[in-house]
Structure 1
Amino acid sequence: MSASSVNVVTHPLIQHKLSLMREKDRSTKGFRELLNEIGMLLCYEVTRDLPLELVEIETPISTMQAPKIAGKKLTFAPILRAGVGFLDGMLALVPSARVAHIGLYRDPATLQAVEYYYKAPQDLSDRTVILMDPMLATGNSACAGASLLKARGARDIRFVCLLAAPEGIAQFQLEHADIPVWTAAVDERLNDHGYIVPGLGDAGDRMFGTK
């Protein structure tokens, strides 16, 4: 993946909301609401180039050829658990989308992704799949999620995250050069525990109040 396929979304609303999320005293409720709102805004960006087709409709005045999204419905694929924080915002924009669930957790010793659940539509090869996880840190979870989708036939995959580290981007580039990335920010680095610096902590813990 070239640097040009890493899309940093600099819209002022996204950047403002991200800054609010970074604050250590932000409540669980506030963090969850902001993640949902940013998910909706990022969905605008990642779907900007979806193909359209002209279909005949009837307005109250006359018939016309009007653009509608072509092809089968989108599939949203959140990586559990934190990835579901994006889901409601995206479904608010695309309520007819299918949803795939990818259950992965990070082994605290090796930092490798371990699969524990997978459920997705059968015809992924015919759909645009938006893989989502708030943090692209080591890149292990995102890479594992993308590999699972490809193994089930997905061919058009896009990855959306809230924050990325240079190390995670490099790993994702190495393993999935064909998948473009959308993120709100690229932070400085990872620390010794695999957390993004300055980051915002553990997104799942902050979203669900488990720490």
Structure 2
Amino acid sequence: MKVINFSESNSLYNNFLAQLRDLKVQQDRMRFRRNLERLGEINAYELSKVLDYKSEDIYSPLGVAPSNLVAEHPVIATILRAGLPLHQGFLNYFDSADNCFISAYRKHTTADEFEVEVEYMSSPSLEGKTVVLTDPMLASGMSMVLAYKALLRKGKPKHVHVSCVIASAEGVEYVKRNLPENTTIWVGAIDDEMTAQSYIVPGLGDAGDLAFGSKED
């Protein structure tokens, strides 16, 4: 399974990610959402390089321009709610893509223990499709694996691209163990630590709350 870590090379991705982590910048909720969207756009552009292409003649007013075009846009799947701005970034570039939305949440049994439950999914058929599964934070990896298993109800994808902004090293290893080999992980940074409550350190905090406001459990 291939892991592509944007922090291992120099690009504007690192600037926007640094702003997402910054306590002062995080006070601007709209800017936080926009930076997530920007990272989705950058990821979409880089991911587009590994898709299948087809040759097509485009007719301009003055002639014919042979063009190499994406053969089929991927299905963009997102774990609600934190993934919505990242999802929008992908959709800005894959503007004719079909979409899938998955509701997953932490059901706490104690203060430090929880189970992840998938409650709802809206999706087209995924049989033989390329799927981009987005969630800003890949902590324990449980939500991502359960989301993938939920996707299988709609068919077996030919390839899955997992897109995260920040992951824990433990979460990446969990996904590598539990998702098939035809999976690519795209991540902005991999942090080494994770708390007992499965929050990534240094991470950036709760992406959903920072994007959309705090919630009651």
TM-score, normalised with respect to structure 2: 0.89
Deviations 1:106-149 (A, max 9, x none): 22333332011101012x11321100000010000011111111
**Map of 1:187 onto structure 2:** 191
SS in structure 1 of the partner of residue 114 of structure 2: coil
Q: Where do residues 59-208 of structure 1 align in structure 2 (5 Å cutoff)?
A: 59-71=60-72, 73-109=73-109, 110-122=113-125, 124-155=126-157, 156-178=159-181, 179-208=183-212
Question: SS in structure 2 opposite 1:107?
Answer: strand
- Decide which moves more: 173-182 or 159-168: 173-182
- Aligned-residue offset at 1:102: 0.6
Q: Does structure 1 conserve the Cα–Cα contact (< 8 Å) formed by 2:124 and 2:154?
A: no
**How many pairs were matched up?**
206
1:60 Cα shift? 2.6
Q: Secondary structure at the match of 1:172?
A: helix
Mapped contact 1:112–1:141 kept (Cα < 8 A): no
Task: Report % sequence identity.
Answer: 31
TM-score, normalised with respect to structure 1: 0.92
Which one has the bigger strand percentage?
2
Supply the RMSD in Å over aligned alpha carbons. 1.5
Do structure 1's residue 9 and structure 2's residue 13 form an aligned pair? no
Counterpart of 2:144 in 1: which secondary structure?
helix
Letter in structure 1 aligned against 2:61: P
C-alpha separation between the residues in 2 aligned to 1:115 and 1:147?
Answer: 10
Aligned to 1:21: 20
The one-letter amino acid of 2:59's match is E
Q: Structure 1: any 5+ residue segments left out of the alignment? A: none
Give the 3-state SS of the residue equivalent to 1:125 in structure 2. coil
Aligned to 1:48: 49
Judge conservation of contact 1:129–1:154 (CA < 8 Å) in 2. Answer: no
Q: Are 2:13 and 1:34 aligned?
A: no
